Amino acid sequence: MQKVDVLAVLKQVIDPHIGVNIVDLGFIYDVKVNGKKVMVDMTLTTPVCPMSSILVAQVEEQLKEAGFEPEVKLVFDPPWTPDRMSKDLKQRLGVL
């Protein structure tokens, strides 16, 4: 499996407040794949996000369902900004 396969799985995780997947939101900072083991560094819009435990659990669940052995690390450095969003999402939201 490759990083692009992992990102495809992670696009199934939707931020419930915004209704957009976490990949397009720019929440995924790094993905490392070593066989079935997948290490994901992800962030959120703020360290005090009330959805943090839910989103991390959804990432782990989606990866496990896809046959991966996930290790998810929540990081806040560098801080998330709207610049991290995908170009398509920026266009949809009118922030380009």
Sheet holding 28-34, edge to edge: 28-34, 37-42, 69-74
Confidence (pTM) = 0.92
Distance from C-alpha of 49 to C-alpha of 1, rounded to nearest angstrom: 31
Structural domains in the chain, sorted by start: 3-93 (3.30.300.130)
Please state the rounded mean pLDDT for residues 29-35: 96
Q: Which of 12, 59, 11, 14 is nearest to 38 (CA)?
A: 59
pLDDT tens sequence across 38-94 = 999 999 999 998 989 999 999 999 999 999 999 999 999 999 999 999 999 999 888
Confidence (pLDDT) at 84 = 95
